[in-house]
């Protein structure tokens, strides 16, 4: 792992059990490997895209990286604050604290909390988390709370300009935002934490073309201004061509191909196997 690599995925295997009907017509559990052998490098300060058909295990791989699943074999190492850290077997919340942010494909926001609170919860300062901390040190707590709010408002202003809907609706429940706005809020929130690597699971699914353009803009801003590394799953090929520096094609449990987006998407095999053209 050299200095340009932030995430090194090394021969990850993951199996699940599925129910099949065997030759004698009886139900039987069969173990199969969804991820056969995944090797992948994510370069620092770049956008890496992962494409592949539905059910090939892209989200499973993300879940293994962020600690919700354990891999059967293999290891993942992450470059956190200048040190190599093995992610295998670490709890999800610790992985988040190491600097890996994650956005889910759906339910990416806390519906019943206000827009501002959605931002505050992601703050990288954990002061006030213990139940009595905020009462015992209420002065420090007040200052930190104020800083958090300013930080959130600054992020909104930076990303969406001065008169944006998020600032106007900051005290309303987040579920009152439109679906596209919720997605943008989910992305903006990732700036609250002190993350190095962001895992985005289909950032453009189900939103209108205007929001897709905005998401493109945000991703470029994240990489160029905030020096973040982005690893994303995507089905929108135009989006991949526009934002990604590298692209990997996943098929039958392995990374079948890797390279620049133009090469991968232009490759006849990929076009046949995945795009159907």
Angle value at C-alpha 85, between 110 and 2, nearest 5 degrees:
115
Which of 3, 107, 163, 225 lies at the binding interface for another protein (CB under 8 A)?
107
Binding to another protein by residue 149, rule CB under 8 A? no
CA separation for the pair 40, 9 (Å, rounded): 5
Binding to another protein by residue 93, rule CB under 8 A? yes
**Partners of 246 in beta bridges:** 48
Q: Write the DSSP string, 165-191.
A: HHHHTTTSBGGGS-HHHHHHHHHHHTT
Distances (CA, A) of 244 to 116, 168, 231: 30, 33, 9
Judged by beta carbon, residue 26 or residue 93, the one nearer another protein is 93
Binding to another protein by residue 23, rule CB under 8 A? no
Q: Site map for another protein, 189-228, x if CB under 8 A?
A: ----x-----------------------------------
Instruction: Answer whether 193's CB lies under 8 Å from 119's CB.
Output: no
Applying the rule CB under 8 A, the residues between 2 and 21 that interact with another protein are none
Q: Write the DSSP string, 16-61.
A: EEEEEE-TTS-EEEEEEEEEEEEEEEEETTSEEEEEE-TTSSHHHH
Judged by beta carbon, residue 46 or residue 97, the one nearer another protein is 97
Binding residues for another protein, rule CB under 8 A, total 36
Query: Min. distance of Cβ 199 from another protein in angstroms?
Result: 9
Applying the rule CB under 8 A, the residues between 38 and 77 that interact with another protein are 66, 68
Binding to another protein by residue 164, rule CB under 8 A? no
Please, what is the end-to-end C-alpha distance for the chain in angstroms?
A: 37
Binding to another protein by residue 171, rule CB under 8 A? no
The binding site for another protein (CB under 8 A) comprises 66, 68, 91-94, 96-97, 101-102, 104, 107-113, 117, 120-124, 126-131, 133-135, 141, 145, 193
């Amino acid at each position: 792992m050299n200095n340009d690599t932030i995430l090194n995925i090394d021969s990850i295997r993951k199996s699940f059990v599925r129910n099949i009907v065997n030759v004698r017509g009886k139900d039987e559990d069969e173990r199969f490997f969804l991820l056969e052998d995944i090797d992948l490098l994510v370069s620092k300060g770049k956008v890496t895209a992962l494409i592949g058909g539905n059910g090939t295990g892209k989200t499973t791989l993300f879940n293994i990286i962020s600690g919700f699943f354990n891999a059967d074999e293999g290891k993942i190492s992450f470059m956190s604050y200048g040190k190599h850290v093995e992610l295998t077997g670490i709890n999800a919340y610790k992985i988040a604290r190491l600097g890996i942010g994650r956005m889910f494909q759906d339910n990416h926001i806390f519906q019943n909390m206000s827009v501002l609170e959605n931002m505050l919860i992601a703050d990288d300062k954990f002061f006030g988390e213990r139940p009595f901390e905020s009462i015992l040190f209420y002065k420090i707590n007040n200052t930190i709370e104020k800083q958090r709010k300013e930080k959130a408002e600054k992020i909104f202003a930076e990303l969406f300009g001065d008169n944006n809907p998020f600032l106007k609706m900051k005290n309303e429940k987040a579920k009152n935002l439109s679906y596209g706005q919720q997605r943008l809020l989910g992305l903006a929130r990732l700036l609250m934490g002190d993350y190095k690597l962001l895992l985005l699971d289909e950032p453009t699914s189900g939103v209108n073309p205007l929001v897709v353009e905005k998401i493109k803009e945000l991703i470029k801003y994240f990489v160029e201004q905030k020096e973040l590394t982005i690893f994303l799953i995507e089905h929108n090929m135009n989006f991949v061509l526009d934002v990604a520096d590298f692209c990997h094609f996943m098929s039958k449990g392995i990374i079948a191909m890797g390279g620049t987006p133009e090469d991968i998407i232009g490759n006849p095999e990929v076009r046949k196997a995945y795009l159907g053209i």
